[in-house]
Amino acid sequence: MADFILEIGIEEMPARFVPRLGIDIKDIFSELLEENMIDCESVEAFATPRRLTLFVKEMSAMQRQIVEEVSGPPARIAYDADGNPTKALEGFAKSQGIAIEDIYTLETDKGDYLAAKKTVGGGKTIAILPELCTTAIKKLSFPKRMKWGNLDFAFGRPLRWMLCLFGADVVDFELAGLTSGRKTFGHRVMGAGPWDVATAADYFSVIKEKCSVVISPDERGEFVRSEGDKLASELNGSVVWKESLLQEVSNLVELPMPIIGNFDESFLELPKEVLLTSMESHQKCFGIQKDDGELLPHFLCTLNLIPKDMDLVRKGWEKVLKARLEDGRFFWKKDLDTDFSVWLEKLEHVVFLGPLGSMGDKSRRLERLAALIAGKIDASLQTEMARAGRIAKADLVSEMVNEFDKLQGMMGGIYASKRGEDEVVCKALYEQYLPAGAESPVPSTIGGAIISMTDKADTLVGCFGLNKIPTGANDTYALRRAALGIVRMIIEFGFRVDIVEIMDMAYDGYAKNIKWKLEKTEVIEKLGDFISSRLRAYFTGQGYETRVVDAALGAGFRDVTALKARVEALAKFAETDGFEQSVLTFKRAANIIKKQDSEREATLTGGFEIDRLVEKQEIELATKLDETADRFEELWENDEFGKLFAILGELRPVVDAFFDNVMVNCEDKGLRFNRLNLLQALVDRLSRLADFGALQV
């Protein structure tokens, strides 16, 4: 047993590559060790912008040995007529590396075959490791690869050194013109090196004490957070932490050193969003805020070294940020002097999407559609939503958003507030791009949700009309995210709207002269299928069984809020005793009706005549359906789906008795038709709750 270390030295890797690399090399190498039967205590990986390190604790010096039985050709062709080994026998022995006398006959159901027992493994680990290291490095993937020099090798960034030790021994291999060894290089300024590492177990002390490198990304991030909190508390403030930025910062440095910088208080006249965007996007810094959320004239930045003159370095950061804030103040004042009408005019000259007209056209569509959707949700908001839709995209041509595109929507809400627009309108503009992803929050206001749904529906319809439908991993216009966003808003607000009707209204808002690639009926049909697939992904992602989700979707999805309730109720129903038998019973009824429909004997309406039924069991079923009809409708109106599925539990024994004792396809045509209508009434009720045919049992 000995520790193993592999360190790949690289030129500075983009921060977005770093976290994934550590995960990938650990997974890849762990799999290779298992495939090669090499035991170990644990596998860890660490990544910085300049190195990727793999550490295996207590790796076995030898492979595991196992004895396995291998079969060869049929025994009948093993020897010739003179009893000499045939080429088939000799070939089998040679391919397995065993002597002919060790081969025996194995009896199987298909006849006798040659077989032998073969010992696999048992090799020295240090002899196997070179190939494993080369394979692991080559398997690493990157969003973009590059080549350098005249090498026929591609990687995320050029390789600069390779350290590889098994205990105290160097694991020799070559890659990308480099030869592995025991030398490592440290922080460019604080401990450049090179430094010799005597054994794998010594690596971490050398990295920390001589190289001045914090090897763990988690440790780097926690150090920035703890030191940042400490420095901010000394200013009676707290850091405005942004987790994605903290991860990025921790993967930009090898030796983090948080410091506080300052800016002139006059810049606090700018909106908090502008100040934070200037700090975060351009300088990778964090804001400092008071208890009430207002910003202080300070920021937290992270150095990649311990400077000799801290004040000099601080002034450099402050100078760069000041230039950014001066730009922001210029844009802010210029935008405040500009009326919305000027921006709306400019939108007439901004293309939305090819044949779909300008952003001005889109603004007018949003005005109309937002009012229509508001009418379905809260009619008292129609006027405000129409106004919000009209000016929703105005800030796209503002100076501030032109410079800081991440502020689109937010600046629109801020500017609207400064111009005295209704508060409902301002908040709707501010939140119109939420949710921005699966993990992003939905808008906090109904107005924000309405405008967001309006914008997304308009884009979905436009793209589908042009046949720009996502295929595979290709989703240029983020239409999956848009559809999922609408679904999430409907569910989280509990809106009772028809999601397909929204798409229909959005389509009607487009100009009549647009050259569509698809007709309206096809657009709406494809959008329905697309939304259904997003709903399926959403609910299965919430942990619901696929068959449950499919069954609930099969009963209809246009009322998404009701669908959610049905999925929840069906999931609970699926956990009850007798569920499997209930599914079989109700599927049988559905299959009979489906067959009847395909044979087109007559049109079934579900209207049966109880007086014309004959058998006791069919009369009991008809009576039970009549008795529960009013209760079913009342529960349906109140979305009490759990109780509705309980009614199915009441019906099942009666339905079972019907199938056990009644011949549906009897000779009497009138009686047969009445019995089929009885089943149709049952199926009509069932199909409102779930597609039982989708519930495979």
Residue 435 contacts residue 442 (beta carbons within 8 Å): yes
> Given phi > 0 = left and psi -120 to 50 = alpha, else beta, which region is 284?
left
The alpha carbon dihedral of 134, 137, 140, 142 has a sign of: negative
Tokens 């948080």 found at: 258
Distance of CA 673 to the CA centre of its chain: 51
3-class secondary-structure state, position 136 = helix
Q: Output the pLDDT for position 655.
A: 87
Find all residues with CB under 8 Å of 115, minimum gap 6, and list them. 69, 70, 71, 72, 103, 104, 105, 106
Residue 23: enclosing H or E segment and its boundaries? Answer: helix 18-35
Average pLDDT over residues 567-594: 85
Spatial distance between the Cα atoms of 511 and 38, rounded to a whole number of angstroms: 67
SS3 611: helix
Of 7, 395, 366, 365, the residue nearest 183 (C-alpha): 7
pLDDT tens-digit series, residues 596-614: 655 555 677 778 888 778 8
pLDDT of residue 692: 83
What pLDDT was estimated at residue 67? Answer: 73
Please, are residues 245 and 284 in contact by the beta-carbon 8 Å criterion? Answer: yes
pLDDT digits (tens, 9 = 90+) for 392-428: 999 999 999 999 999 999 999 999 999 999 999 999 9
pLDDT at position 697 over 70: no
Up-side HSE of residue 674: CA atoms within 13 Å toward CB?
Answer: 19
- Contact in structure between 548 and 564 (CB atoms under 8 Å): no
Helices H, strands E: what count in the chain?
25, 16
| CB burial string 580-592: b at 16+ within 10 A, e below | eebbebbbebbeb
pLDDT at 696: 67
**DSSP secondary structure string for all residues of 540-595:** HHTT--HHHHHHHHHT--SBHHHHHHHHHHHHHHTTSTTHHHHHHHHHHHHHHHHH
Exposed, middle or buried: residue 574 (CB in 10 Å: 0-12, 13-18, 19+)?
Answer: buried
Pick the range with the lowest mean pLDDT from 31-35, 477-481, 519-523, 621-625. Answer: 621-625
pLDDT digit string (tens) for 433-451? 999 888 899 999 999 999 9
Per-residue pLDDT of 441-499, as tens digits, reads 999 999 999 999 999 999 999 999 999 999 888 889 999 999 999 999 999 999 999 99
**Per-residue pLDDT tens for 319-370?**
999 999 999 999 999 999 999 999 999 999 999 988 999 999 999 999 999 9
Instruction: Identify the CA nearest to 26 among candidates 3, 9, 6.
Output: 6
267 pLDDT more than 80: yes
Percent of the chain with pLDDT over 90: 69
Share of the chain above pLDDT 70, in %: 98
Host H or E run for residue 230: helix 217-233
pLDDT tens readout for residues 63-94: 887 777 777 778 777 777 777 888 877 788 78
More confident residue, 577 or 257: 257
Cβ contact 415:452 at 8 Å: no
How many angstroms separate the CA atoms of 424 and 420, rounded? 11
* CB 650, CB 625: distance < 8 Å: no
pLDDT of residue 193: 86
The secondary element (H helix, E strand) that includes residue 175 is strand 174-175
Considering only CA atoms, which of 403, 416, 527 is closest in space to residue 463?
A: 527
* Helix, coil or strand: residue 161: strand
- The model carries a pTM of 0.81
Cβ contact 213:254 at 8 Å: yes
498-555 residue pLDDT tens = 999 999 999 999 999 999 999 999 999 999 999 999 999 999 999 999 999 999 999 9
Helices (H), 337-445: 340-347, 359-377, 382-391, 399-403, 410-418, 423-430
- To the nearest whole number, what is the mean pLDDT of the chain? 91
Q: Amino acid identity of 202?
A: D
Whether 157 and 10 have beta carbons less than 8 Å apart is answered as yes
